Amino acid sequence: MKTKILVTGADGQLAKTIKELYVKNSDNLQFDFVNKKELDITNFKEVSTFFSKNEFDYCINCAAYTNVEQAEESTELAFKINAEAVKHLATVCNEKNIILFHISTDYVFDGKKNTPYSETDITNPINQYGKSKLKGEQYIKEILKEHYIIRTSWLYSSFGKNFVKTIANKVKENADLKVTTSETGTPTSCIDLAKVIYELITVKKVPYGTYHFSNEGEGSWFDFAKQIAIQFKEYNLNQLQSVDFFKTKALRPKYSVLSKNKIKLHLKEPIKKWEKSVVEILSGKSLLNK
């Protein structure tokens, strides 16, 4: 009997990556993908009705409000999607005995540390996006025992709008670029994150709770941009300049590297360095090695 999995946020880059990797390459898992039009998770009645009509073993919540800047002004909407909708999912999953995977963020921390954050470190988000994501986490912990909260950072993929695609397109246009060095974190490939989620589902022995996952290593947004730019040999790297400060509406944690020590105890393979995963995405080889 196949394990049935609902994936919300079907139009987002993580859900699309899961679909690309596993829909045709997993005999024992059956995936259903829904976008906002097919299931509005901010509407509790709609969520309850949908789950009553369909049976699932797992729900992977990839739906989120991710515009960090706009969240400062559209705070109510950010909390509606990142917190209240998560509460709806947790409530229904609890009623139906469904295991919930929820994707959270390094932005639940304030960035005042200078060593990687562990799952037990005190949360203290400094922007509305981070606050809304933390509230979603809190709802899950209050309502549902059978959950996995996975905090990740600086996600990118070959799908949708993300930093890698934006910088790569600018480089192809031979544009001059200025990128900040004021924040340190870890770029994370959606492919590597999707593989971890798949492993946690198929292994079925990993304790419930909160886990951190990103690629290995750390760097600034400038380091990230440089790693992208050097893959295009015709681009003059002198056109890429670092800046100490970049004015934004939302405060950002200066250091938000995540410790992976907890999740490493349950993974079969070593976690890839972030630089390598960037190269794989840009070379187009990343989805071939499944």
Average pLDDT, stretch 234-243?
96
C-beta of residue 74 within 8 angstroms of C-beta of residue 26: no
Q: Which of 67-76, 77-86, 280-289 has the lowest mean pLDDT?
A: 280-289
Q: Which stretches of the chain are DSSP H helices?
A: 13-22, 44-53, 75-79, 85-96, 128-143, 163-172, 190-203, 221-229, 261-264, 274-283
Residue 193 scores a pLDDT above 70 = yes
Q: Give the pLDDT of residue 289.
A: 42
Q: Give the pLDDT of residue 246.
A: 77
Distance between CA atoms of residues 111 and 106, nearest Å: 9
C-beta of residue 118 within 8 angstroms of C-beta of residue 83: no
**CATH of segment(s) 3-162+187-216+256-273:** 3.40.50.720
Using one digit for the tens of pLDDT, what is the confidence trace for 12-63?
Answer: 999 999 999 998 877 789 999 999 999 999 999 999 999 999 999 999 999 9
Q: Give the pLDDT of residue 288.
A: 41
Distance between CA atoms of residues 14 and 10, nearest Å: 8
Q: What angle do CA 227, 229, 231 make, to 5 degrees?
A: 80
Q: Closest Cα to residue 47, out of 104, 2, 8, 80?
A: 8
- pLDDT range class, residue 247, cuts 50, 70, 90: confident
Residues annotated as catalytic (active site), given as ranges? 129
HSE, side-chain direction, 13 A CA sphere, residue 273? 7
C-alpha R_g of the chain = 19
Tokens of 9: 């946020």
Pairing of strands 147-152, 209-212: parallel
C-beta of residue 222 within 8 angstroms of C-beta of residue 178: no
Q: Give the pLDDT of residue 287.
A: 52
Q: Give the pLDDT of residue 127.
A: 98
Give percent of the chain above pLDDT 70: 98
Place of tokens 């932005």: 107
Instruction: Compute the mean pLDDT over every residue in the chain, rounded to the nearest whole number.
Output: 95
What are the backbone dihedrals phi and psi of residue 216, each rounded to the nearest 5 degrees, phi first?
-80, 155
C-beta of residue 73 within 8 angstroms of C-beta of residue 128: no
